[in-house]
């Protein structure tokens, strides 16, 4: 048997902040339902079909706890089902004016509805468990509400991580061995937090390893492994400046038929104005999918051969993306994934999960990781730069208020629902999404409002609890119409009092 050219790992990171009950349009639940209908449903269906064909270890799929909570929430399940029905109605409404597009959208929306009703009616967790149990995917966990961990106080950082891992175990039946570190953010010493929490591997961006991503690497003197995203391969698909989704044949994300809310055009050209873009053609896009899948496989093979020649041993390449790229941002993305995952084994490439690659022995020497992220500059500027100094200061205040209230708690040995709700709101206040959206000027007003909302609740509730005004605290919480229950019902604020040192 001919040995493989090398090993390829596909890693998908699925994440949205808490959006349920926090607005609808243009930012809010619409964002959740679009991503769910157009990415999560078709990507999981694609992986399930490939598993049924006999393919194993197809991908490493991360689903953050805050997203998983929404995928299981009955309120959100009803909301996305209604959204799917609206999608089909919008397709029908366009039939007289745009018959070809309407027919295509009808087929796609109907398939999404059938996928939801067959596999997702009882939540995302059953669908993900079933997929994992086929051996097709390894599931990654993460901290509870996706904070930028390097900027957190050590106690809060460990609390958030452990809460996220516990949430994963409750929903999916086992604690994850690996995590997608939010924003690939890292500070030296965090490997000990990971080791103490039972995390055995995590993702970093390639520049943190100076591009030496051919093997998983132990971090410092720990047994925790970091795995680097290979930008030479990943950026072939999507980079800050180019990638396959920008090809002329694919559906244009930014051009709308406003009466129906559908997207009628293909990219046509990067500088072509919307009114001059050509109509979308599924057949033309399908040919582009096959072309770009073959190009990607050739890129992977060339990369693995070069790595093997330079290292003298079988090597690894990791392509890592946001799941939302496939289907939501790039309409044809799930079809491209299916084509790539079928073509790679035929080209002599071993396709593995991260855990599978490590089990195969693709582990190198220890490395000292620097401060890093996968954001602009590969440092912390997106989440700690001057443009978000107010958000950073607000996060510091949130952590102070949270710890002060917990440390002053004198309610006895049992759980305190008010303290637990305080911790839940603090986790959402500390989401990395708010600073990212401000820095990138993407719905910055919404992001600042959300950060302020949760931080204000933490400050008020913390003050009431420290003053012993529990009846006033209960009355105040009852006025939070958007929060009928904590997103993380298992979170126990008492755990904060027990976290003092790593492990």
Query: Which positions are annotated as active-site residues?
Result: 183, 322
In 270-343, DSSP assigns E strands to: 316-322
Cα gap 466→237, rounded to integer Å: 52
Q: How far apart are the first and last CA of the chain?
A: 45
Provide the phi-psi class of 414: left if phi over 0, else alpha when psi is between -120 and 50, else beta: beta
In 269-334, DSSP assigns E strands to: 316-322
Nearest to 205 by CA among 10, 8, 435, 372: 372
DSSP 111-174: HHHHHHHHHTTT-HHHHHHHHHHTTSEEEEB--TT-B-GGGS-HHHHHHHHHHHHHHHHHHHSS
Tell me the C-alpha to C-alpha distance, in Å, between residue 171 and each of 126, 127, 132, 194, 475. 8, 11, 13, 20, 31
HEC string for 63-94: ECHHHHHHHHCHHHHHHHHHHHHHHHHHHHHC
Tell me the C-alpha to C-alpha distance, in Å, between residue 24 and each of 34, 43, 145, 451. 11, 24, 20, 17
For 79-101, b/e burial (b = at least 16 CB within 10 A) is: bbbebbeebbebbebbeeebeeb
Nearest to 316 by CA among 346, 354, 343: 354
The answer to whether the CB of 465 falls within 8 A of the CB of 405 is yes
Cα gap 368→208, rounded to integer Å: 9
DSSP 425-482: HHHHHTBHHHHHHHHTTSSHHHHHHHHHHHHHHHHHHHHHHHTT-HHHHHHHHHT-TT
DSSP 2-16: PPPSEEEEEEEEE--
Nearest to 229 by CA among 295, 349, 304, 316: 316
- Determine the longest span between alpha carbons in the chain, in angstroms: 73
HEC string for 371-391: CECCCHHHCCHHHHCHHHHHH
Cα gap 322→303, rounded to integer Å: 22
Beta strands at 225-229 and 201-205: parallel, antiparallel or unpaired: parallel
Place of tokens 């079809």: 335
């Amino acid at each position: 048997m001919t040995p493989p050219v090398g090993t390829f790992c596909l890693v998908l990171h699925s994440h949205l902040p808490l959006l349920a009950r926090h607005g609808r349009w243009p930012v809010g639940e619409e964002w959740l339902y679009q991503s769910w209908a157009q990415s999560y449903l078709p990507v999981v269906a694609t992986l399930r079909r490939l598993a049924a064909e006999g393919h194993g270890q197809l991908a490493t799929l991360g689903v953050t706890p805050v997203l998983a909570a929404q995928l299981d929430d009955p309120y959100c399940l009803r909301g996305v089902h209604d959204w799917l029905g609206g999608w089909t109605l919008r397709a029908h409404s366009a039939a007289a004016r745009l018959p070809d597009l309407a027919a295509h959208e009808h087929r796609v929306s109907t398939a999404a509805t059938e996928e939801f009703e067959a596999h997702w009616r009882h939540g995302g967790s059953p669908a993900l468990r079933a997929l994992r149990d086929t051996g097709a995917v390894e599931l990654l966990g993460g901290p509870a509400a996706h904070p930028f961990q390097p900027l957190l106080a050590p106690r809060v950082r460990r609390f958030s991580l452990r809460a996220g891992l516990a949430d994963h175990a409750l929903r999916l039946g086992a604690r994850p061995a690996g995590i997608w570190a939010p924003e690939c953010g890292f500070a030296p010493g965090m490997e000990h937090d990971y080791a103490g929490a039972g995390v055995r591997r995590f993702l970093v961006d390639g520049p943190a390893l100076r591009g030496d991503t051919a093997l998983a690497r132990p971090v410092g003197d720990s047994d925790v492994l970091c795995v680097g995203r290979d930008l030479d391969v990943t950026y072939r698909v999507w980079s800050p400046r180019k990638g396959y989704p920008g090809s002329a044949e694919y559906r244009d994300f930014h051009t709308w038929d406003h009466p129906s809310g559908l997207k009628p055009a293909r990219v046509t050209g990067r500088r072509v104005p919307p009114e001059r873009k050509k109509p979308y053609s599924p057949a033309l896009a399908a040919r582009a999918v096959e072309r770009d899948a073959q190009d990607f496989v050739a890129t992977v093979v060339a990369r693995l051969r070069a790595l093997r020649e330079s290292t003298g041993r079988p090597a690894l390449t990791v392509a890592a993306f946001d799941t939302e790229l496939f289907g939501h941002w790039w309409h044809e993305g799930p079809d491209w994934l299916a084509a790539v995952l079928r073509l790679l084994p035929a080209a002599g490439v071993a396709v593995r999960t991260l855990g599978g690659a490590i089990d195969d022995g693709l582990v190198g020497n220890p490395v000292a990781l620097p401060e890093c992220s996968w954001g602009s500059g590969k440092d912390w500027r997106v989440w700690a730069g001057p443009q978000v100094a107010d958000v950073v200061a607000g996060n510091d205040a949130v952590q102070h208020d949270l710890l002060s209230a917990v440390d002053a708690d004198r309610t006895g040995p049992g759980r305190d629902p008010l303290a637990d709700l305080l911790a839940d709101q603090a986790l959402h206040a500390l989401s990395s999404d708010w600073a990212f959206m401000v820095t990138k000027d993407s719905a910055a007003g919404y992001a600042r409002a959300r950060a302020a909302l949760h931080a204000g609740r933490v400050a008020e509730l913390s003050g009431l609890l420290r003053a012993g005004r529990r009846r006033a605290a209960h009355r105040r919480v009852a006025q939070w119409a958007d929060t009928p229950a904590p997103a993380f019902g298992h979170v126990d604020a008492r755990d904060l009092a027990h976290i003092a040192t790593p492990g």
